[in-house]
Amino acid sequence: IFSIIKNYRGRGQWFVLPDRTQITMTVPFMRAYTELLVQTAHKRGAHAIGGMSAFIPNRRDPEVTAQALAKVAADKKREAGDGFDGTWVA
């Protein structure tokens, strides 16, 4: 996202990104980015490593933790389906 902002910041008001909560890894331009990343890494003989998940568990609230872990699992399943060879874990 930083690269997009950097490249288009001088384009004026006609280039506006949506609210950042709407920019998920499933929107078309982010999907294109991950597909290109996997393709480029594999073409060069490198491992494509997925990113850190943005969903954080809360040890004080089991419901929030369960929701976060479900979102992390879905995110990592999507990465595996996209062809990533590994992922970050914290």
At 20-71, the pLDDT tens digits run 788 888 888 889 989 999 999 999 999 999 988 888 888 899 999 999 999 9
Closest among 44, 49, 19 to 34, alpha carbons compared: 49
pTM of the model: 0.74
Domains of the chain, residue spans: 2-87
> Virtual CA dihedral for 66, 33, 46, 89, nearest 10 degrees?
-20
Work out the burial of residue 43: count CB atoms within 10 Å of its CB; fewer than 13 is exposed, 13-18 middle, 19 or more buried.
exposed
DSSP conformational letter for 55? -
User: Distance (Å, rounded) from C-alpha 35 to C-alpha 7?
Assistant: 20
